[in-house]
Structure 1
Amino acid sequence: MHLEIVSPEATLFAGEVTSVTVPGVEGEFQMLKDHAAIVSLLQEGDVKFDGTTSISKAHASKFSNDVNGKTVLHITSGTVEMKDNKIIILAD
């Protein structure tokens, strides 16, 4: 799957991932390959993903790793769209 995380300032991440977990307004949910098409609002929380693509040095300070080795980005709100194994997160 291809993941793009975009903020008002810049594209924070673009790369291939195997799973993405987001803080939906009705609770946290995970998207895997071939997930049904979805558009959802996001609330404050952590976006977590597994992937092999490295994060650019310009934005590395915004990301951390959790105890399971997933990459984590804290957001205050946003939206997510997944369609045809492409996920776009517009994050604040």
Structure 2
Amino acid sequence: MYLEIVTPEAILFSSEVDSLSVPGVDGEFQMLNNHAPVVSNLIEGTVKIHVHSQTNLKLDELDGKLIPDGADDKILTLLINSGTLELNDNKAIILAD
């Protein structure tokens, strides 16, 4: 699936991903490829991104807000205060604060 993370200041991330975990208002949930359409408000917490295995991610080009999760540079985390998520037709857009 394709993921784009947008803030009022900039586009933080735009790439293919294998999965995505977000802090929804009813609890954390994960989305994989071909997930059913979803619209959800997000609360303060951590967005976990599993970058597509075929993507050549250059860590030095990432915004300082996206942090590699430990030794695996294919897993990124982003702390958010709140936001909105829309997933439809394998394209996820997060509008984050």
Judged with a 3 Å threshold, the aligned counterparts in structure 2 of structure 1 residues 68 and 50 are, in CA distance, closer, same or farther, namely: farther
Paired-residue identity, %: 54
Alpha-carbon deviations, 1:28-77, whole Å to 9, x = none?
00000110001000000011011135256361x11112247320000000
Residue correspondences, number:
91
Matches of 1:73 and 1:17, distance apart in 2: 14
Alpha-carbon deviations, 1:14-40, whole Å to 9, x = none?
000000000001100000011000100
- Letter paired with 1:25: V
User: After superposition, where does 1:1-92 map in structure 2 within 5 Å?
Assistant: 1-51=1-51, 52-54=55-57, 57=61, 59=63, 61-67=64-70, 69=72, 70-92=75-97
Judged with a 3 Å threshold, the aligned counterparts in structure 2 of structure 1 residues 42 and 32 are, in CA distance, closer, same or farther, namely: same
Q: Which runs of 4+ in 1 moved over 6 A?
A: none
Matches of 1:81 and 1:64, distance apart in 2: 22
Judged with a 3 Å threshold, the aligned counterparts in structure 2 of structure 1 residues 84 and 10 are, in CA distance, closer, same or farther, namely: same
Instruction: Give the TM-score of the pair, scaled to structure 2.
Output: 0.86
Instruction: Give the TM-score of the pair, scaled to structure 1.
Output: 0.90
Does structure 1 retain, via aligned residues, the 8 Å contact 2:23–2:43?
yes
Please list every run of 5 or more consecutive structure 2 residues that lacks an aligned counterpart in the other structure: none
